[in-house]
Amino acid sequence: MRKLKFGLLMIAILICAFSISAFSISNIIDPFGTFSNLALTRTDGTALIKISPTVDLQLSQNLFNMDNLNALLNEEEITLDATNMQSALENGMHLALPLEIGAYAHLNLFGLHLVPYLNASGSISVNLPQTFSQILFGNTLLESNVEDTVNGFAKSNLRLNLGVGAMVKDFFVTGNFFVPVLYSDPERTYASASYTSSASPSNVNVEFDAQAVFVGALNLQGIDTRWTDMTVVSQELMDVLSQDAGISLSLGYGNNKFGFAVNDITIRPASARYAVNVSANGSANYTAEGTDITADATYTISDPEFSSLLTPMSVTNPINVTAYYKSDGFFMWGATGMYSLSGSWAAKAYAGLNLEILKVYYILGVIPGFYSNGIGLEVNLGLLNADLQVAMTTDSLNPLGSSTPGLSAYLKLSGGI
């Protein structure tokens, strides 16, 4: 009789847990990544425990139009001229690759929510001013000289994060170990371009030179062969976490409607002991004297050069503030934003229909210089949830009017009770 009662009790608990998960409010806004707010995990339907792996990738660029993208994918010849590079000529050259890949677990212990997580996050970006576009691709006049140099044109802040968050009611605090994997060194990263010409004799010379230096706590030289052994992987990661990892905190508040967070409050800076250097240069020359015309162009891109820093470099992440507001009725909508003390920012808004087990929505995202327009589909089966977002990134608000498209994809799976 006791066994029967115990069995009925367990069945009742599982039914209740399944019901809570099946009809709970899940989140279009991810609790990690760009718009991080741990409070969003509290409404993900976790009755006891849930595990959620996530992949979030975005490529935004204004360098290649559709014809050149097709040529690049098919390994065909790419045409670089004033027509194909119109966007770059008007706005400078820009490329951005934000990403987040990782997983978190959510444990609901009678109102105390614990959220351990592991992820790789950050972004890589390239920004060159309009002068470079004009020198390299524009219709520059004869007998004119143009040159420009820019420092820190390539930026990267890719890192590994390992931490745990604790939340009671609507308030949370997160402790985080962060390991710099690929951080740009702005003092040693530069690009320069020059254009010189004359009319008699007719001569045009274009030169380009660039160097990008990145630092990190992991030795990337030979990592593809070293990390085939899991013993080596675990040992190197433990050494880095104990010696070179930084420590940061996040604090915040959130409920079913709105929330805010202050992230990346550095307690201890990380240390970068290794560097990788990549350089490129090229030149093009055109000379015409009478009927004698000569033209030539050359370029070189170096292999990565790995080295150890004589003095480890201190690495911190600028504090950023995030906020969200959302409504989760039949017609659901929401907006979220992020501002970093480094000057970077991002915003996202969505609207759609909530049928409990199925959500369909439109999503609009904005980062400096780029927009993303996409659709999302979320399926909630109680014990298993899936959320997929696919978007086109463009340099104009109207995606159909963009000459330089990119792509954004987000996938989150959740399993548990």
| pLDDT reported for residue 72 | 75
Cα separation values, 324 from 167, 215, 333, 373, 406, Å: 17, 33, 11, 19, 26
Query: What's the average model confidence in pLDDT over 43-68?
Result: 83
Q: Is the pTM of this model over 0.95?
A: no
| pLDDT reported for residue 2 | 47
List pLDDT tens digits, range 297-350: 888 999 999 999 999 999 999 999 999 999 988 999 999 999 999 999 999 999
Q: Does domain 2-416 have CATH number 1.10.3470?
A: no
**Stretch (H or E) spanning 135:** helix 130-137
Q: Are 405 and 395 in contact (CB under 8 A)?
A: no
Least confident of 154-158, 192-196, 294-298, 398-402: 398-402
Least confident of 34-38, 83-87, 155-159: 83-87
**Stretch (H or E) spanning 373:** strand 370-380
Is the previous residue joined to 201 through a cis bond, with omega within 30 degrees of 0? yes
> What stretches of 63-111 adopt beta strand conformation (E)?
93-109
List pLDDT tens digits, range 242-296: 899 999 999 999 998 999 999 999 999 999 999 999 999 988 887 877 667 787 8
| pLDDT reported for residue 163 | 95
Least confident of 16-25, 40-49, 279-288, 365-374: 16-25
Which sequence spans correspond to the domains of the chain? 2-416
| pLDDT reported for residue 248 | 97
Least confident of 81-90, 109-118, 214-223, 304-313: 81-90
pLDDT at 170 over 70: yes
What is the pLDDT confidence band of residue 358, given thresholds at 50, 70 and 90? very high
